[in-house]
Amino acid sequence: MKMTMRWFGEENDRIPLEHIKQIPGVEGVVWSLHDIPAGDEWPMERISEVKEQADRHGLNIDVVESVNVHEDIKLGLPTRDQYIENYIKTIEKLAKVGVKVICYNFMPVFDWTRTDLFKEMEDGSTALFFENEKLKNIDPMELVNTISENSAYTMPGWEPERLAHLADLFEKYKNVTEEDLWDNLQYFLEKVIPVARENGIKMGIHPDDPPFSVFGLPRIITNKQNLERFLKLVDDPCNGLTLCSGSLGANPENDVADMVRTFADRIHFAHIRNVKTYGNGDFIETSHRTQDGSVDIYEIVKAYHEVGFTGYARPDHGRHIWGEECRPGYGLYDRGLGVMYLWGVWDSLQRLGKEVN
């Protein structure tokens, strides 16, 4: 397992690379060019700049999260071919600096949805929170304003240029069904997967977050059955998964450890995150420790160990602790603790395996 940490860049993150480098076992940063609008071709000089920054600290940039998919591709509009061409050119450029995995998603409009960025927990820490009833009774634009007002950072998936056209986007999606979305996803994959293969890059789709419809929008990467269907759309080793235990775990019916064992050879990137779910559909993100949430993180790490996982992993979202002022979900402290919890489980499994043999 190759451990990484997500990093939002020197100009957009309060966490310096030298601090990430100090976390034991972290080999690389998961990065993106967050200011480049979805659909635009990434400039080579900007890509090279990130590599130079990481190289100075001995960190790799093997994983990109995300090269965002333009909404016209998801909608299947005639303009999608130009945006797919831009995507292909970006893949080719990323290969030149050694990128091995591209994480992306196919969620309409919103990449992720929460109703509270800093919900206070019993211990005084705060975390990202999803309140089911609140979402049912809130206007999407009102939620956008709430997110914008409560974060000093540009939030991936909630970029201003995308949200400026929110009403128009909802109108365009009004008659788009899940089957339409499947068809448009297959069209996209058939264009980009051959290019990814030629350039030694693996594509890993991120599950929908949360894994069910929000605001009536179609969502399809939500459960084991749909993951299996996705992998068959283009049955190629380069067409794979970013398996996120937090996104999928928001639905208690999803058995993430079983998915690890089932799709092991197609998991290119592991997001390991814990959430505590409630019977009314609410959920809150917790520490990575199994006992603190509803997702069996121990069993998930055990599954990765059993299948001999050698891909990339990162501690996904964490709480905001010790007074740290940080991007919602992405404080250094709790994610650093998460890394050590994951390594603790992994190392104990390694030791146990040696003693048994």
Q: Which residues are catalytic?
A: 206, 244, 271, 316-317, 330
Who's near 235: CB < 8 A, 6+ residues apart? none
* Cβ proximity of 287 and 344 under 8 Å: no
The tokens of 297 are what?
Answer: 């993180």
In sign, the C-alpha dihedral spanning 278, 283, 289, 295 is: positive
Question: What are the phi and psi torsion angles at 227 (to 5°)?
Answer: -65, -40
User: 196-221 burial, b if ≥16 CB within 10 A, otherwise e?
Assistant: beebebbbbbbbbbbbeebbebbbbb
Q: Which two tokens stand for residue 107?
A: 């969620």
- Cα–Cα dist 190/290, whole Å: 39
Residues near 11 by Cβ (< 8 Å), separated by ≥ 6? Answer: none
Q: Where are the alpha helices (DSSP H) in the chain?
A: 17-21, 44-55, 71-75, 80-96, 132-136, 140-149, 160-163, 166-173, 178-198, 224-233, 245-249, 256-262, 297-306, 332-356
Nearest-angstrom CA–CA distance, 94 and 321 = 35
